[in-house]
Structure formats: C-alpha cells, structure tokens
Amino acid sequence: MLDVKPVVLEGQVVRLEPLGLQHLAGLQACVDLETFKFFAETAPISLEPGDVAAYLNQMLALPNVLPFAVISKASGEVIGSTTYMDIRPIHRGLEIGMTWYVEGVRGTRVNPECKFLLLEHAFEKLGCHRVQLKTDGRNLQSQAAISKLGAKLEGTLRKHMVMRDGFVRDTVMYSILADEWPGVKAGLLERLG
C-alpha cells in the first residue's frame, strides 16, 4: 500500500517542495493564465492576488493529491508547479499531472529533471506499480513531452472531461510501469547528462 507523504525532492537545477501558502507570492509573480488553457479542473480565474490565493487553496484542498512548488535552485524563485494526483494507495499507483512552468524554463532541463525526481520517488521509495500521465487531446506539445519521457501511450479516452469553458475534451493516457522504470530512468539520466 502506498504511503504518500509530503517530501522535498532535490535535483541539480530544481527543488520540489510541498506546495503551501508560503509559495503564494512566488506563484503570483510567475503565473500565466494561458498556461492553464488545457487544465480541466483547478486553475486561477485571473491574476488578481485573491484569485491566485483561491487557486492555491483549491489545490491544497483536493483529495488524493500532493502538489509541489517547483523552485529554481539558482534563483530560489517559484518557476512552476507539478502534482502527484489520483493517488491510489491500495493499487500502488498514482498520476503525475497539473504540471506547468514559467515560459522561460520550458524546453530546458527543468521538466525532465522534475519528472525524474517524481518518478524516482514513486518507483524507488513509494513502491508504485504504475505511474500514469494524461493530457488534453489538443495539447500536442504535452503529448510530445510525455512520449519523450519514455511513457507508453495507452490510448485516448473519448469525450472524457468537460473543460471549464464547456468544451468536452478527449484525454490521451500514458503510463510507466515499475518494470519499465529502469529503461525510462536510463533515458532520463542520459538526457540530463
């Protein structure tokens, strides 16, 4: 059975800290509403401090979720967020999702390092059998990034989720299994140099 507890995960360029109210100013400084266009559920409705605070409180109140602030080790600033979600303790599985980064770090080693830290912890410390990732069928950039991680495409859940604007999206599902983790880990370590 999974026992997922708040933990700090540290790499060479990022530190993942359990998301909390202490990150509110950092989120406020780097959040961009365009980032959330493919998020089906929780997202800030504006950049006003009260709306960003409401978003943070919604994230912290979600069940079966452990959100992280992504901190740049070079600057100490919040540069995004990522989440363990759909935590299924009995089935020893979870999902990595609700991930976003400030525009300036997209396409850098930030995302592969974050995923490496989260996957390593999930498989090697928590003992997960399965880690899944999903994305909006329209989000081709996210699909490419997930494939590049080494996750296996499982298929598309048609008309799976109703977006905040009422659009009914298809969801593209990927997963990594425990016995696939060594190969995925080797690929990520190679990418991270």
The Cα 72–Cα 65 span in angstroms is 22
Classify the phi-psi angles of 43: left when phi > 0, otherwise alpha if psi is within -120 to 50, otherwise beta.
beta
Q: What is the pLDDT of residue 32?
A: 84
Tens of pLDDT, residues 58-85: 999 999 999 999 999 999 999 999 999 9
Number of Cα atoms under 13 Å in the Cβ half of residue 86: 12
Buried b (16+ CB within 10 A) or exposed e, 55-67: bbeebeeeeebbb
Q: Is the pLDDT reported for residue 41 higher than 90?
A: no
What is the average pLDDT across 11-20? Answer: 98
CB 131 within 8 A of CB 178: no
CATH class of 9-192: alpha beta
Q: What confidence category does residue 163 fall into, taking pLDDT thresholds of 50, 70 and 90?
A: very high
The Cα 154–Cα 8 span in angstroms is 30
Q: What is the pLDDT of residue 39?
A: 86
The Cα 133–Cα 149 span in angstroms is 11
Min mean pLDDT across 35-39, 60-64, 118-122, 187-191 is at 35-39
What is the average pLDDT across 20-34? Answer: 90
What is the average pLDDT across 116-132? Answer: 98
CB 16 within 8 A of CB 117: yes
What are the residue boundaries of the structural domains of the chain, listed by start?
9-192
Q: Which amino acid is at 62?
A: L
Ordered strands of the 14-18 beta sheet: 9-10, 14-18, 66-72, 78-88, 93-101, 130-136, 168-177, 152-162
pTM, to two decimals: 0.96
Q: Is the pLDDT reported for residue 29 higher than 90?
A: no
- Sequence-ordered list of residues with C-beta below 8 angstroms from that of 121, at least 6 positions apart, any chain: 7, 9
What is the average pLDDT across 89-111? Answer: 95
